[in-house]
Each structure stands twice: as C-alpha cells, then as structure tokens.
Amino acid sequence: MLHDTLDLAVPGPVIPVIVIDRVADAVPLGRALMAGGVRVLEVTLRTPVALDAIRALRREVPEALVGAGTVRTASEAEAAMQAGAVFAVSPGYTPALGRACGALGLPLLPGVATAGEVMAAADDGLRFLKFFPAAAAGGIPMLKALAGPFADIALCPTGGITPDNALQYLSLPNVRVVGGSWLTPADALAAGDWSRITALAAAAQALRR
Ligand code: 3PG
C-alpha cells in the first residue's frame, strides 16, 4: 500500500516509464524489472492493453508497486484505480485531475514544467511533482532555479533522462528519483529479451547519488 507519492522514491533512483503493446509481456517484464531490483512500475495508458497489463501485474507480481502513467483525465484515473493501479502519473497538472485523484484516494505524481504549475499543484497540497519534459523544459539549470523558491518541493525529472545524465539529475537536492523509458526498450520487449531488461534495471538501481 502506498500512503504518499514520496514513497515512490524509496525503492530506487529510477522509475521505469513503460509502454506495453502486448498484454502477455506485462508479467515477464514486471518480473524482469523486479529481478533487477526495480519495484516501482509506471505503466503508461498509451496502448489499448495498458489497463489489462496493470491488472495482470497486480495479480501476478504483487510485490511490485504498479501505477498508471499518462493519466490525463478523471475518468482515466478512475479506470486506472479500478484496474489496480496504486498511483497515477500525469504529464501535466489540472485541478480537476488533482480533485479526482484526491476523491479516489489515488496518489498522484503530476507533471509540471513551470513555476506557475508548481504553485497550482502545491496549492492543492501536492509536494512531490514530476518535472516533465525534463530535458526540453530546461533540464538541470531549470531544476536548480526551481530549488530557490520551491525548496519544499521534491521533483522527479522525466523526459530525456539517460544512464549518462541520470546521476547529474539525482545529485540535485530537490530530485529524489528520476523517470525514464530506457529500462524497457521497445526492441527488448518485442524480442522478449527479459535478461537485457533485468540488466538495465540492475544498472539503474545501482545509480546512487
Ligand atoms: C515519456 O514521455 O515517454 C517519458 O517522459 C519518458 O521519456 P524518455 O523516453 O525520454 O525517458
């Protein structure tokens, strides 16, 4: 059970952003990531099987913390929760989505890219936010700039984070964890190359500030 979105930052420094095209891949993928030590799984609602994938992961890989990514609306948040998602990640923030997740009791990690968006989310009680799209929205200099007025806000940069730059992001005081798709490359999923995914997960898990 997840009480606070900040708990998502505890199991490891990288949250995989996952796109699943075939529902049959969900469980072996989840097991491959867990074998590499990665426990928090963000399954994006970008494919028709995403909700079924979340259901399968909750059923078959119960020790994982499975959430839904790319949640944009209240109805998507509700569908994600019904499928068993224990948290939601959104690309941006709207008060309507914040209210919906609050009413559902579904912890929300919402995306922000500007000071005004940080303020809107903080107004609604959210203190752990995804900085998205991190590299395109100003990267490390922007995160350093946000740390001044928003020292009480923790951020999860996502979008353009790589194994080469992740440690630089993780060394910032306002960054607890980063998100990225590099742990689950589409070609590895297509080929069922689960050992490669375990190796990528283990390498990501070893990234520490
Ligand atoms: C996404 O939108 O898919 C996430 O932000 C992941 O971005 P990345 O592929 O740059 O890691």
- CATH number of residue 187's parent domain: 3.20.20.70
Pocket test for ligand 1, best of 181, 182, 187 (most atoms within 8 A of CB): 181
Ligand 1 atom nearest residue 162's Cα = 11
Q: Report pLDDT for 6.
A: 83
Q: Report pLDDT for 208.
A: 77
Q: At residue 18, what are phi and psi to the nearest 5 degrees?
A: -110, 135
Distances (CA, A) of 6 to 2, 12, 21, 103, 132: 9, 12, 29, 19, 17
Residues of the chain with pLDDT under 70: 1, 209
Instruction: Tell me if 67 CB under 6 Å of ligand 1.
Output: no
How far is it, in rounded angstroms, from Cα 195 to Cα 37? 13
Number of folded domains in the chain? 1
Q: How many angstroms separate the alpha carbon of residue 52 from the centre of ligand 1?
A: 21
Q: Report pLDDT for 4.
A: 81
Q: Report pLDDT for 38.
A: 97
Instruction: Tell me if 101 CB under 6 Å of ligand 1.
Output: no
Q: How many angstroms separate the alpha carbon of residue 116 from the centre of ligand 1?
A: 22
Q: Report pLDDT for 1.
A: 63
Instruction: Tell me if 158 CB under 6 Å of ligand 1.
Output: yes
Pocket test for ligand 1, best of 15, 41, 42, 158 (most atoms within 8 A of CB): 158
Q: Report pLDDT for 111.
A: 98
Q: Report pLDDT for 9.
A: 85
Q: Evaluate whether 69 touches 42 at the Cβ level (below 8 Å).
A: yes
From 90, 37, 48, select the one nearest 67 (Cα to Cα). Answer: 90
Q: Report pLDDT for 97.
A: 97
How far is it, in rounded angstroms, from Cα 75 to Cα 156? 24
Instruction: Tell me if 180 CB under 6 Å of ligand 1.
Output: yes
Q: Which domain holds residue 10?
A: 5-205
Model pTM score: 0.96
Ligand 1 atom nearest residue 132's Cα = 5
Is 130 one of the catalytic residues? Answer: yes
Instruction: Tell me if 157 CB under 6 Å of ligand 1.
Output: no
